[in-house]
A and B are shown apart, each in its own frame.
Chain A
Amino acid sequence: MLQYLAALACTPILVFVLQMALIRILRFCGISISNQVIVIISALAGHIPMGAIVWAVYLKDLPDVPGELALTAIYGLFVYEALAYSYFHLFNMSETARRIRILLEIYASGKLTASGIASAYSASDMLDTRIERLLSTRQVRWQGGRLFLDGRLLYYAARVIVWWGRVLGFPPPGNVFTGSTTRPD
């Protein structure tokens, strides 16, 4: 049992190692894919080695009690998915978070004024980076000089997050940027 739990707890390390390997393989093959998509592929691929490991260390020896194997496997699946999802967000912070980018700029310079930060990382840069990222993940598309929704996954995720923010008492995100209401924090 302890080995089963230890293997599951190592989920972020497994996804990280698979991501390291996949990045290098794709680079060697000259294939360019969004870094976020690579993490998702790594997390999905990780089901196979994790499944093999937990089977070998624990599941194969479970007593023949009805439902025992299924329930234990479902527990493992929940833990794996939650930890892989957490790793995805952790990686995403390094990739997309404004706060991490600001910290990086200050770290690289030693010290910066507010205008120094803005010149190193402007709102215009931020917007272009995000549009480029949304285009590469096919969530939006350019057509006739205008941007249109393409994939629906992030749009629906955004709607869920807006709903969640409302439940917690935050203003709608559009209002935060247009300044039509006060910021939540």
Chain B
Amino acid sequence: MASTDLLAAYLLNFSFSAAYILSYPAVQAASPSLVIVLMIGNSGAEGLLRGDLAHVFDDDVVLGPRIEDLVKGGLVTVEGGYYRLTSKGTVLIRFFVLMRYLLSLPRGRG
């Protein structure tokens, strides 16, 4: 097998792996948008009030676990009750800040 064939196999493997890995957070972190759509979809002809959704999402379940994820992932440290970015977290967030700057977009709203 030629080296370019191996490179082609690697590129295919890389691209499919990247697609899988980047889809994974929506499964792992229970994307709120998907939960909202499912709740509205499952309500059928009745529909839902905003308040029906609001009581499901509070700060403890929406933010708390995600902050824990960031600490566990080494992106954030907690000292004396204050959260600070680690160097890894700073590099990551600067990448996204640069990306949105080049796209001429304001910061993402989350």
Contacts and interface: CB of A to CB of B under 8 A. Distances in A.
Interface of B is mostly: helix
Contact of B47 (A94, A95, A127, A148): A148
Contacts, number: 245
Given A102-B63, A143-B47, A158 B75 contact: no
Contacts of B41: 149, 155, 158
B96 A161 contact: no
A144 B64 CA distance: 34
A20 B83 contact: no
Interface string B90-101: 101110110110
Interface string A107-142: 100111110011001111111011101100001100
A77 to B, nearest CB: 11
Nearest to A121: B110
Interface string B4-39: 100110011001101100110111111111111111
A38 B30 CA distance: 25
B16 to A, nearest CB: 5
B33 A107 contact: no
A16 B102 CA distance: 9
Given A75-B12, A94-B108, A97-B108, 18 more contacts: A1-B4, A82-B15, A86-B18, A93-B22, A93-B25, A102-B66, A104-B96, A106-B89, A107-B89, A113-B83, A118-B63, A123-B54, A139-B37, A140-B37, A146-B47, A146-B48, A170-B30, A177-B56
Per CB-CB distance, the 8 closest pairs between chain A and chain B, nearest first, are: A101-B110, A146-B47, A89-B22, A173-B30, A82-B15, A158-B34, A86-B18, A176-B30
Interface of A: 1-2, 5, 8-9, 16, 19-20, 23-24, 27, 35, 75, 78-79, 82-83, 85-86, 89-91, 93-104, 106-107, 110-114, 117-118, 121-127, 129-131, 133-134, 139-140, 143-149, 154-155, 157-159, 161-162, 164-165, 168, 170, 173-174, 176-179, 183-185
